[in-house]
Each structure stands twice: as C-alpha cells, then as structure tokens.
Structure 1
Amino acid sequence: MALVAGFLAAVGVATLVYMHVDTDVVWVTSVFLVLTFGMSARWIVRPFGAIGQPAVFVAGACLWWWVMGRIARDPGLARGPDRIRSVLLSLWWFLLLTYVLSFTRPLTVAETNGSARAVVLFSCLFGVALLIGDGVADRDRLDVLVDRVVTAAAFLALIGIVQFVFGRDPWTAIDFPGLVLNRDSASVGERAIFNRPFATALHPIEFGTVSAALLPLALHRGLHPRVGRGLPGRWGPVILLGSAVPMSVSRSAVVSLVVGLLVVAGRWSWRRRAAMSVAGLAFVVWVWALVPGLVGTVLSLFENAGNDPSVTARTDRIPRVLALWEEHPWLGRGFGTYNINDYFLLDNEVYGMLLDTGVIGLAVWACTMVAVCSLILSATARSDAATRHLGGALVACIVALLASTATFDAFAYRILLGSLFVLIGCGAALRRLERASASGTVGRAPLPVGHPLEV
C-alpha cells in the first residue's frame, strides 16, 4: 500500500511538472541532485521504508514525465530513434523479466520486499536517465546541468572534509519535517589514526568513490569553463574532490580515481597529460605535507591488502557465491531478491548481479554499459575540443563508478547509483545534440514564446 500511495503521489507531482509549470528537465534534475547530495540518504518518509528518500519521489516524477511525454508525443522530448535510449530500455525490460520470473519459485518475505524495492528504485532512475537524454533542450542547458552535478559533488566533498578535520557531522543537529531516520545517525568513524568521513552518503566508501568518480567532470569544468567563471569556480571543485579521495581512506575510492583519470586522459594531448601528471604529483605532495601520514596510510591499504580481513573475506566468499549461482546460473534468482537476511553479506556488486540476474544478466549489464560509453565517445570523437573532452569526461565518470562494483556493493548506495544514471542521461543528451548538430536538425522543438526559460 505504501508503494502504491508513493506512486500516486509521484504521479501527481509529475503531472504538475508535465504541465510545464515554469520548469524544464534541467530544473527538475537539479532538484533531484539537491535532494540526493544535499540530504543524508538516512532520511526517509516513514510509510515507504528504505525506498522513501525524497530524491526517489523526484526520480519517480521524472519517470512519469518521460512516459507521459512519449505517449502524448510531447514536442519537448526527442522522438526520433536513439541507440542509447534503446539499450537502456532493453536493460530495463530485462530486469523486469527477471523480476517476474522470480515468482516461479517460492520467495521469502525478505526476497519479495527486496525485489519490489529494487524494481521501483531502478525504474525511477531509468526515468531520470531517459528524461535527461530526451529532454535537455540544447547544449547550453546541458552545460548548466553538468555544472550543477559538479557543484553537488563539491558540496559532498566539502561536508566530508569538515567531518575529517573536526571529527563531527554538521548535520546531526538538523531535523527535516516529515522525515525520520531509516537507521541510527552515524558518527564519524576512524581508520588508522584518521577520521573517516561520509558526508551525506551512507558510508565512507561511497563518499570516497563518488568524489573520485566525479573528479574527471570537475576537471572538465576547470579546463573548459563556461563564460564568467573565475579560478575559484573552475578549480575549487577539483581541489575539494581531490582532497576528499584520500580522506575517505578507501581502496575503492583510489581504484575509481585511477580508472577515471586514465579514461579521461585518453582525450588529452601528450602535453596536457604531462602537465596534469606534474600537477597531480604536486597535489599528492601537498596532501602529504598538509596531513602527515595520510598518503602513507592510503598506500598501506594496497601494500597490506593480502592480510586485510575486508579483502580476504571477499575472496573467501567466492566458493559460497558459486554454489548459490549454480542453483540458477542463467537468469539468476530474480532481480533484487538477494538479501543478507536469507543469505550472507556479499560486499561485491558483481556477485550480487550474478546471483540476481545470472550470467546472462551480468552480460546484459556489461554490454549495455559498453554500448552507452562507446556511443558517447563515437558521437563526440570529431567534435570541437570542449565537446570532445566533455564526452570523454562523462564516460570516465561512468566507468569509474562501474569499477567500484567489483570492490563493494555499490548499487546499495543511492548517491552513487543516482550519479550513475544522471551521468548516463547527460551522455545520451550530449550524443543526441551532437548528432542533431552534425545533421543540421534540431534536437527538440523550441520552447514556446513567453516560456520563462526561452532565450
């Protein structure tokens, strides 16, 4: 009943938005970003349980807007064929298929509830990506959205740095009317001798991974700024996100950082690669001098990984994971059905996808993400320097987030998951606008005369 009521509430909000109440896709997505990054994921609307974060309701409104726009042939949404849209819809329908097939076997209460939450959450997030991909009006509006993603990430990093320095969470004294804590308010933990911040995320690993993964997009804003941005606006987010990564004291964050930088560097000249390498080395030295022992602690996480219980526990689970997988090898147990109440902790999203959707589902996931990244890169390969770099930065962020699926249960964390779908939507919008520009057509119909966002 709670899910039905939430769906009806989202429909009502989306209907108002769909009626163009002085808003556009970028504005609505910005609200989603504010609620995702600016409010702790622990705060929920009580009747809706774990899925009751305010950001999920906005994502549901985005899904409804996109569905209604496709049915009503809204001129504000792109209507032509689009490959990224097609592969996203294919993945979405496959996940729904595995959800339906899960009911061919007896399910526990935890499995039933978990699968329902997963289907609702991912459907809403697919709506966010599809709405951005089909609904961003032009390149200027896309640049505004990219700026807001970077700003949201910089805010997350800033809160985490405050927690690292002072050892206190500045949000503990804040109550949100109508919301309750889904779990106890967490205190800033420690690793080695350092505070381990989490900002508005659920865990320091999520905080560090998101900060690392979105750094390539912050670098894009620094290297190709919009008109009117001074040095603080260009490079401030880079410094904040770069500082947040070691402060999370997380291997996953470092892995995502390295992967993201390697991918975005593919679209740099050799001169820029050399310059950025020197700048990166200087930044590491600056962190080493500013916080003695921090860089060494992070490096020791990799040097002693073989003796780390958190690493050996993951590898020790492999035989148990394979034993469960052999029960349903091809299509899995059903999307979202795996849970620690009935089984055991995985702490690895690849394991979870394999058990939930089988080897076919894991292949579909991988092929979908490869297709999305390839389409973005190919569409921007011959564009101007700023557009070409933006395409590379978006793909770098997506790949960096996906790399974390092999190191922890990444999709259990809403900031990380929300960021992934927003970035995919931005990449789809960029590809559509670039193809429209190359062919001399328009990406979508112009805004009506008198609309508040008309230029």
Structure 2
Amino acid sequence: MSIAGRAAESIPAGAHTAARGRLELDGAMMLTVYIVLLIGVPSGTTISGLGGLGRPSVLWGLLLLLWWVLARLQARSPDVSPVPQPVRYLVGAFVVVVLVSFAAAILRGQPADQVSPATTALIRLASWSGVLLIAMDSVKTFADTAKLARRLALAGGAMAGLGLLQFLTGQSLLEWVSLIPGLSADGVDVATRGAFTRASGTAVHPLEYGVVVVAALPLAITTAVNRGFRSRPSARDGLWWLPVALILIASLVTVSRSAIVGLAVAVIASLPAIPVAYRWLVAVLGGVSAIAVFALVPGMFGTIVNLFAGASDDPSTQSRTAALARVPEFIASSPWIGQGLGTFLPRYYIFDNGWVLLTVELGVLGVGCLVGTVAVAIGTALWAGRHSPYADLRAASRALAASLLTIVVLFAFFDGWSFSMSAGLFFLVIGLTAAVRVVASADREPQRAVAPSVRGDLLVGATPPRATDARGILSEYERQGPR
C-alpha cells in the first residue's frame, strides 16, 4: 500500500515512520549498548592513549550524536504533527551558555593545565547530548520505553549485586580489567570507612556508585510491580523483585549518608507510581532488608546512626557548608556565565556539591538553564503519566520522574557531573522523560494515528491498535483496507 498526497489531517509523529528516519530501527538497541558501556564497564577504564576521552561510554555517546545528526539530515516530514519538546530548547540554551563561557574563558587566558580539562568537558557534553537526543527522538513506542526501563532496572540490580560482593570480600573484583591489552584502568581499589568496605561497583567512587544504584530503584520497583511490563503473566514475574531487594540491601551497606538519603528520596518518590497494595509490599521488603543487614553485619546499625548523629562534626559536611560561603567570592568576576566548564580545578577549592560547582563554572545562566531542564523534564514525565490512557506508561513515566529527582538531589552531595557514569545516567534519564511525552501524545489520539487513505478518509468502525506502534497501525490498515 502507498499513501499518495498530503493527508487531510496530519498524523502524530509517533505514528509516522518517514519522519523518524532510521532511528526507530535501532534506537533502543543503541541505547542499550550505551547502558552496558556506561554501567557494565568499569568507569575508570579507558583506551590507552586517549586519556579521559577514551572511556567507551563517551566514545559511544559521540557516535550517537553523529548518528542523530545524519538521521536529521535525511529525515522527511511532509505531513507530521510534531510533539513539542521544551526539554530540547532548554538543553540547547544550556549548550549555548557552555560554549559562550568556554570562549570567554579562552579569551581571558587560562593556565596550560586548565585548557585541556575545559576542552575535554566540551567533548563529554557533546557525548551526553548525543545520548539525550537519541533517547528523545528514537524512542517512539512504549515497547522501546519498557525495554529501556527493564534494562536500567537490571543494570542497577547488577551494580548492587557487585557492590555486595565487594562489601563481603573486601576486594574490588575488577583487577582483571587492566590485563586486557589496549585498556588502562584506574580507581579499581576499594575504599573503607571504619571497619567496613565501601563498595563502588564499576564506578570510580562510592558516591557515584550510590547514585546509580538508588536512581535505578524507582524503575526497578515499577518494573517489578508491572511484571516486567509484559502483557502475559509468567511464573518468573517474581524474579523482577530481585533487583529491588539487591538495591535496598546494597544501599544500606554503602556506609554513605548520601546513598541513604537518596534511598529515602527514591522510595518516597516511587510510591505514587504504584498501587496502594504494592506500597505496603515495598515497605515490608525495605524493613526486612534493614533488619537482615543490621542483624547479620555487627556494628552496621551504630555506624549508620553515627553518620547522621555526628554529621555536624564530619569534615565532609563542614566542607560543604563552608563551600556555600565561598561561592560569591568565586563567581564575582563572571557571575552570569561563570569561569568556564571544567576550568575550576581542585587546587582552587574542592566543592562536594555539584550544583555549587556548576554555578561557579557556568554562572547564573548556566545553572538556571540546567535547573530549568530538570524541572521541565520532571514535569514532562508527570504530564505523560497524567494524560496517557495506559496504566503501564503512566507508571513508567512517574518512575522516570522519580529517578531523575533522586539523581539531582544526590548531586548536591558530590560533584556528579565530573563523573562519567552519574552524568551519563543523568542525561539518559532526561532523554527518556522527553520520549515518554511523544508516546503519551500518540496514546491520547488513537484515531488520528490510523493511516489515512488516498482520499484522506479515516477508517470507520475500526478499532485502532495502540498508537505507539506505528508499524502495527499501518499493517492493521493494510489488512482492513480503505473504506
């Protein structure tokens, strides 16, 4: 069947294959590869000779950006009603501020050891932008959304499982990576706090590990509640609760205040996305996990209590508090566009707060654009959760909003944008929040998603398939034929 001429009424972007170029064919797969490279490969692993830019996830993100550009150049959209994406404009504004700040920093003159970090920061931002754009523009169906939600939940569970093994053995279990020819690995040692090993999984720091684990929890909970987002019940549906249990236990043994705070944020933010009966199940599972950890690990309960009770005397807490008082001093010379992304090195001051450091490096405009991006991304996901008629998409959208909220809260406890794993996950989740807006928009207008005939008529009396699967819509139309 061919559709000739312009239709009398344009169809949604999510149901139009031509407008999507070639992205719809492999978008979920390409993002899955990114998840594997980002979380499965140790974060300190690089291709020898490329330095910080040799991280596999960064290189893959650059490939995704190139792929997105080529797909946009080849795309055809003669009769499409595009779905507005305010996230796209805010991210674009953020990139513009970063470029202007970089140019101003170079024109002012920089020490030799600051030029390379600033350039590297630009390239890493390009990589993260590629991930965000591919997620935003290639995930057009709920099937792809469900795949990525499941895979992020599994990645978080696997990360938590590796962290538990590190905690129990006192070893990183990653020394073998440095034996692979052509690769170099840093940060594979484990840290300790008191008598306990601080797990880091494949991350270079326990705080980055904590971000990835707890950010995956809302998706893990929602995936388990919805039986893996599969339409048919299976005897293995209960296994989806295993990542939830692993994440809950791993978060408690991280010996980290920020991870426990993130755990609380993730659980509380996840509750509105699941039925009331499952809220009690999550509460019981969390309580049982806590009791098991405190009973089987002597001294863990007292250590966690002391982390919060003695927070005012802790050097890291005092450093964060003192950092706030130094902000006016550091941004006085360039309050609007900052000092330049990547130019504020630790020798000047160490901020244990990613938002404060971003304010110093990109000024009021830069941090304002990113805060706006986060707010709009969360609002976009919640909008999709309110307007889609499908319960599974509503649940997935709210879980993505909860995951993003967890990440941005934890970035107040460490410089998350300086770590490739936490920053990459941040931009990926933002892209997925924008993607569910497209899916929900198509779900709202199933009749318009049916392909028009040559005369511009719509099928009469036909029950349209789910509007989020364009190929299914077209095949249904072909089967019934125009009337």
Instruction: Determine the C-alpha separation between the residues in 2 that align with 1:34 and 1:389.
Output: 24
Q: How does 1:331-350 map to 2 (within 5 A)?
A: 331-341=337-347, 343-350=348-355
**For 1:195, what is the secondary structure of its paired residue?**
strand
User: In 2 relative to 1, CA 82–359 (structure 1 residues): closer, same or farther, beyond 3 Å?
Assistant: closer
Whether the 8 Å contact between 1:246 and 1:295 is mirrored in structure 2 is no
1:179 counterpart residue number: 183
User: In 2 relative to 1, CA 74–199 (structure 1 residues): closer, same or farther, beyond 3 Å?
Assistant: farther
Specify which of 160, 167, 172 is matched with residue 169 of structure 1: 172
Specify which of 87, 105, 108 is matched with residue 105 of structure 1: 108
1:96, distance to aligned residue in structure 2 (A) = 2.2
1:156 counterpart residue number: 159
1:5-56 deviation digits (Å, cap 9, x = unpaired): xxxxxxxxxxxxx997996011111111111111111111233211210111
Specify which of 115, 122, 126 is matched with residue 123 of structure 1: 126
Judge which range, 82-91 or 414-423, deviates more: 82-91
Q: How does 1:47-58 map to 2 (within 5 A)?
A: 47-58=49-60
1:54-98 deviation digits (Å, cap 9, x = unpaired): 1111111111111111122167x9965422323322322332232
1:300, distance to aligned residue in structure 2 (A) = 1.6
Instruction: Determine the C-alpha separation between the residues in 2 that align with 1:313 and 1:83.
Output: 36
1:91 counterpart residue number: 94
1:225 counterpart residue number: 227
1:43 aligns with 2:55: no
Specify which of 260, 270, 280 is matched with residue 266 of structure 2: 260
Structure 2 unmatched runs, 5+? 1-19, 450-466, 475-483
Q: How does 1:362-441 map to 2 (within 5 A)?
A: 362-383=367-388, 384-440=390-446, 441=449
Whether the 8 Å contact between 1:215 and 1:397 is mirrored in structure 2 is yes
Judge which range, 192-201 or 171-180, deviates more: 171-180
2:458 counterpart residue number: none
Instruction: Determine the C-alpha separation between the residues in 1 that align with 2:88 and 2:331.
Output: 30
Q: Given residue 92 of structure 1, which amino acid in structure 2 is its aligned partner?
A: V
Instruction: Determine the C-alpha separation between the residues in 2 that align with 1:137 and 1:372.
Output: 17
Which structure has the larger Rg over C-alpha atoms? 2
**For 2:273, what is the secondary structure of its paired residue?**
coil
Instruction: Determine the C-alpha separation between the residues in 1 that align with 2:106 and 2:403.
Output: 36
Q: Given residue 374 of structure 2, which amino acid in structure 1 is its aligned partner?
A: M
Q: Given residue 98 of structure 1, which amino acid in structure 2 is its aligned partner?
A: S
2:363 counterpart residue number: 358
Judge which range, 306-315 or 276-285, deviates more: 276-285
User: In 2 relative to 1, CA 229–336 (structure 1 residues): closer, same or farther, beyond 3 Å?
Assistant: farther
Whether the 8 Å contact between 1:110 and 1:339 is mirrored in structure 2 is no
Instruction: Determine the C-alpha separation between the residues in 2 that align with 1:129 and 1:446.
Output: 24
**For 1:44, what is the secondary structure of its paired residue?**
strand
2:4 counterpart residue number: none
Instruction: Determine the C-alpha separation between the residues in 2 that align with 1:438 and 1:293.
Output: 53
**For 1:266, what is the secondary structure of its paired residue?**
helix
2:217 counterpart residue number: 215
User: In 2 relative to 1, CA 55–78 (structure 1 residues): closer, same or farther, beyond 3 Å?
Assistant: farther
Whether the 8 Å contact between 1:78 and 1:134 is mirrored in structure 2 is no
The percent of aligned pairs where both chains have the same amino acid is: 28
User: In 2 relative to 1, CA 78–127 (structure 1 residues): closer, same or farther, beyond 3 Å?
Assistant: farther
User: In 2 relative to 1, CA 74–25 (structure 1 residues): closer, same or farther, beyond 3 Å?
Assistant: farther
1:291 counterpart residue number: 297
**For 1:397, what is the secondary structure of its paired residue?**
helix
Q: Given residue 163 of structure 1, which amino acid in structure 2 is its aligned partner?
A: Q
1:295, distance to aligned residue in structure 2 (A) = 3.1
Instruction: Determine the C-alpha separation between the residues in 2 that align with 1:42 and 1:359.
Output: 31
Whether the 8 Å contact between 2:353 and 2:414 is mirrored in structure 1 is yes
Instruction: Determine the C-alpha separation between the residues in 2 that align with 1:320 and 1:137.
Output: 45
1:301-355 deviation digits (Å, cap 9, x = unpaired): 11100111111122223333321122211211122221124x1222221121111
User: In 2 relative to 1, CA 404–387 (structure 1 residues): closer, same or farther, beyond 3 Å?
Assistant: same
User: In 2 relative to 1, CA 19–373 (structure 1 residues): closer, same or farther, beyond 3 Å?
Assistant: closer
Structure 1 unmatched runs, 5+? 1-17, 450-455
Q: Given residue 418 of structure 2, which amino acid in structure 1 is its aligned partner?
A: A
Whether the 8 Å contact between 2:100 and 2:337 is mirrored in structure 1 is no
Instruction: Determine the C-alpha separation between the residues in 2 that align with 1:294 and 1:131.
Output: 43
**For 2:411, what is the secondary structure of its paired residue?**
helix
**For 2:197, what is the secondary structure of its paired residue?**
strand
Judge which range, 256-265 or 298-307, deviates more: 256-265
1:101, distance to aligned residue in structure 2 (A) = 2.7
With normalisation by structure 1, the TM-score equals 0.87
Instruction: Determine the C-alpha separation between the residues in 1 that align with 2:21 and 2:220.
Output: 34
Whether the 8 Å contact between 2:343 and 2:361 is mirrored in structure 1 is yes
1:325 aligns with 2:327: no
